[in-house]
């Protein structure tokens, strides 16, 4: 977003309060652009609209920003078009969203009216007979045209939809390409535009409610095993397996306990899932009585097919299967965030130079390449990031530990320091390596790093902090 536009936004919404560039007296909230997350969020919003119509979806665009609903046959349930639109807008606004809603005979017209005619306070309804009157005064951009076409129209002084409709139809494709005529026809209903609907996944649930409560772990396991088999039998025709299983149990008093089982690859083996559930139970104190058990396969995926030899053995052996089982066991007992894959990130700040991805949340492949290459840094990139003279320590202390430095040498490195109950006398040092991050960080840093060798031959990574004066040990070369 251009600075002037952002500035205008800030002036109208002074409530935002975050770090700003030092040379600008603004209060701006900075967020990284994440189109994938945006789309996922919009899909969630669309799903929430199912109450108003079973046919819903997103507009077809690279960065969709509209939720479309086919409300044919649904409006009378809400008191007409206006009643439905008002109800929908009110519901979304209650979630803290800024919404502009419209009801129109075509997708193109609804998009145009929502963007250029509707007010944020109430939705706009355009009846079929009033479509030309509503669309003609709107700007050409209301037709969802590309920037190139809009620029060309602008050069020719064609500003509104009405002006475009006044031109001879036969000349439009040769002068502006097929896009303009197609969008015009779609807006006025002369060309069919399909709504690509989004379907709500049917939850895969198996549950048990007993007249008598379960009091032993064996009984609970038996019930869970039956429920698991029921779930897996429903997945078998789809050749799918469970990647994430949500287990909920309820006490007689109504208190519910929930825990989640994650698998690295989809599985259809009830015994394996039962083992993972047992590992989860070991970490928790289960209630003495259980009256309700619910299992839901919250994430399913296609089973991986492996070629087998003449004797029915998988060609890539049992080793991979054992490794996957190990990852599942570790993840479910220690937590998914405790079993991770290290990913190097090109960031100067040492604490942020590494990211950790849970093995259960990344794509696992049985081949030797276990990670998408784009996500990793190549050795040559690493060489550029961390030159040989600036080696990084094998162990990084988080947070850095403050030390007492007796006196600093001529180049800034300490001559001795006190840490971990001992005084360390420095006999050699390398540095300084200055690491300074930008003002846009929540907590910018400015440090001078030194690698030092002590009289005992140990190597440490120290830094001197500028903002809040002090020396710290940040790592050891172990």
Partner 1 sequence: MAARSEIVAELAARIRRIERAGTYQAPNIEDDVEVPAASALTSLWPNMASLRGRLVEWLANAKGAGATSLAVLASQAAFAQDLWVVIDGRKTLHGPGLVPLSLDLNRVVLVRPERPQDVLWAVEQSLRTRGVGVVVCEVDQLTPAAFRRLQLAAETGGTLGVLLRPERMRQQPTWAEFRFLVRPLAMRDIEKSSGAIKPRRRLLVELLRAPGNFTAKAVIVELDDANGRLCMVTQLASAATAVRATGA
- Shortest separation between residue 341's beta carbon and partner 1, angstroms: 7
Peptide bond into 226 cis (omega under 30): no
- Shortest separation between residue 356's beta carbon and partner 1, angstroms: 7
Backbone angles phi, psi at 141, to 5 degrees: -65, -20
Answer left, alpha or beta for residue 61, where phi above 0 means left and psi between -120 and 50 means alpha.
beta
Quick one: 203 or 379, whose CB is closer to partner 1? 379
**Cα 443–444–447 angle (5° rounding)?**
125
CA distances from 192 to 183, 188, 335, 458 (A): 10, 10, 51, 75
Quick one: 108 or 475, whose CB is closer to partner 1? 475
Q: How far apart are CA 193 and CA 93, in angstroms?
A: 28
Q: CA nearest 165: which of 143, 192, 196?
A: 143
H or E element in which residue 470 lies: strand 470-476
Q: Do 19 and 30 contact (CB within 8 A), yes or no? A: yes
- Shortest separation between residue 451's beta carbon and partner 1, angstroms: 5
The number of beta carbons lying within 10 Å of the beta carbon of residue 373 is 7
Q: How far apart are CA 310 and CA 141, in angstroms?
A: 64
- Shortest separation between residue 402's beta carbon and partner 1, angstroms: 16
Q: CA nearest 143: which of 177, 108, 118, 178?
A: 108
- Shortest separation between residue 176's beta carbon and partner 1, angstroms: 50
Q: How far apart are CA 185 and CA 41, in angstroms?
A: 31
Quick one: 3 or 338, whose CB is closer to partner 1? 338
Quick one: 260 or 353, whose CB is closer to partner 1? 353
Quick one: 48 or 279, whose CB is closer to partner 1? 279
Q: CA nearest 97: which of 43, 47, 45?
A: 45
Quick one: 116 or 364, whose CB is closer to partner 1? 364
Q: CA nearest 30: which of 440, 464, 336, 472?
A: 440
Tokens encoding 356: 């950790």
Quick one: 116 or 460, whose CB is closer to partner 1? 460
Q: CA nearest 296: which of 257, 244, 253, 219?
A: 244
- Shortest separation between residue 88's beta carbon and partner 1, angstroms: 45
- Shortest separation between residue 437's beta carbon and partner 1, angstroms: 17
Q: How far apart are CA 65 and CA 55, in angstroms?
A: 17
- Shortest separation between residue 48's beta carbon and partner 1, angstroms: 36
Residues that bind partner 1 (CB under 8 A): 317-320, 322-323, 325-327, 329-330, 333-335, 338-344, 350, 353-354, 356, 359, 368-371, 376, 379, 382, 385-386, 388-398, 409, 411, 413, 420, 427-431, 451, 453-460, 475-478
Peptide bond into 432 cis (omega under 30): yes
Quick one: 205 or 397, whose CB is closer to partner 1? 397
- Shortest separation between residue 182's beta carbon and partner 1, angstroms: 47
- Shortest separation between residue 412's beta carbon and partner 1, angstroms: 10
Q: How far apart are CA 120 and CA 99, in angstroms?
A: 6
Q: CA nearest 113: which of 87, 151, 81?
A: 81
- Shortest separation between residue 397's beta carbon and partner 1, angstroms: 6
Quick one: 281 or 477, whose CB is closer to partner 1? 477
Burial label, 308 (beta-carbon count in 10 A; 0-12, 13-18, 19+): exposed
Q: Tokens 């590494």 identify what position?
A: 354
Q: How far apart are CA 237 and CA 199, in angstroms?
A: 20
H or E element in which residue 264 lies: strand 256-267
Q: How far apart are CA 272 and CA 335, in angstroms?
A: 17
Quick one: 294 or 333, whose CB is closer to partner 1? 333
Quick one: 78 or 461, whose CB is closer to partner 1? 461
Q: Do 403 and 450 contact (CB within 8 A), yes or no? A: no
Quick one: 47 or 361, whose CB is closer to partner 1? 361
- Shortest separation between residue 411's beta carbon and partner 1, angstroms: 6
- Shortest separation between residue 394's beta carbon and partner 1, angstroms: 4
Quick one: 101 or 475, whose CB is closer to partner 1? 475
């Amino acid at each position: 977003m251009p600075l002037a536009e952002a500035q205008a936004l800030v002036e109208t919404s002074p409530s935002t309060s975050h770090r700003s560039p030092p040379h600008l007296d603004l209060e701006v909230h900075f967020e990284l652009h994440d189109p994938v997350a945006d789309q996922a969020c919009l899909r969630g919003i669309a799903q929430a609209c199912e109450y108003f119509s079973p046919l819903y979806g997103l507009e077809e665009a690279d960065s969709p920003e509209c939720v479309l609903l086919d409300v044919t046959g649904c409006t009378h349930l809400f008191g007409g078009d206006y009643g439905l639109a008002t109800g929908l807008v009110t519901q979304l606004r209650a979630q803290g969203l800024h919404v502009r809603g419209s009801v129109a005979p075509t997708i193109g017209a609804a998009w145009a009216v929502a963007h250029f005619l509707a007010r944020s306070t109430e939705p706009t309804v355009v009846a079929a007979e009033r479509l030309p009157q509503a669309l003609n005064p709107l700007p050409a951009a209301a037709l969802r045209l590309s920037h190139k076409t809009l620029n060309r129209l602008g050069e020719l002084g064609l500003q509104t939809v009405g002006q475009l409709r006044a031109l001879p139809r036969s000349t439009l494709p040769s002068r502006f390409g097929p896009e303009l005529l197609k969008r015009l026809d779609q807006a006025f209903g002369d060309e069919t535009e399909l709504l690509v609907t989004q379907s709500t996944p049917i939850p895969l649930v198996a549950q048990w409610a007993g007249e008598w409560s379960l009091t032993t772990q064996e009984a609970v396991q038996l019930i869970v095993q039956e429920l698991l088999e029921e779930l897996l039998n429903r997945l078998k025709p789809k050749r799918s397996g469970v990647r994430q299983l949500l287990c909920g149990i309820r006490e007689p008093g109504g208190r519910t306990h929930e825990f989640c089982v994650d698998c690295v690859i989809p599985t259809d083996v009830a015994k394996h899932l039962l083992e993972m559930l047992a590992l989860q139970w070991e970490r928790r104190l289960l209630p003495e009585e259980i009256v309700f058990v619910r299992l839901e396969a919250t994430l399913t995926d296609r089973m991986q097919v492996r070629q087998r030899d003449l004797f029915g053995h998988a060609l890539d052996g049992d080793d991979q299967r054992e490794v996957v089982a190990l990852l599942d066991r570790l993840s479910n007992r220690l937590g998914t965030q405790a079993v991770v894959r290290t990913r190097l990130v090109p960031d100067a700040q040492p604490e942020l130079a590494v990211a950790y991805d849970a093995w259960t949340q990344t794509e696992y492949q049985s081949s030797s390449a276990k990670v998408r290459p784009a996500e990793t840094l190549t050795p040559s990139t690493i060489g550029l990031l961390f030159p040989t003279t600036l080696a990084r320590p094998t162990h990084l202390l988080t947070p850095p530990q403050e030390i007492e430095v007796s006196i600093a040498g001529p180049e800034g490195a300490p001559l001795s320091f006190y840490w971990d109950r001992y005084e360390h006398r420095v006999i050699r040092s390398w540095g300084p390596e200055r690491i300074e991050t930008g003002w846009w960080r929540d907590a910018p840093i400015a440090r001078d790093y030194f690698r030092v060798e002590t009289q005992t031959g140990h190597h440490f990574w120290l830094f001197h902090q500028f903002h809040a004066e002090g020396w710290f040990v940040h790592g050891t070369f172990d």
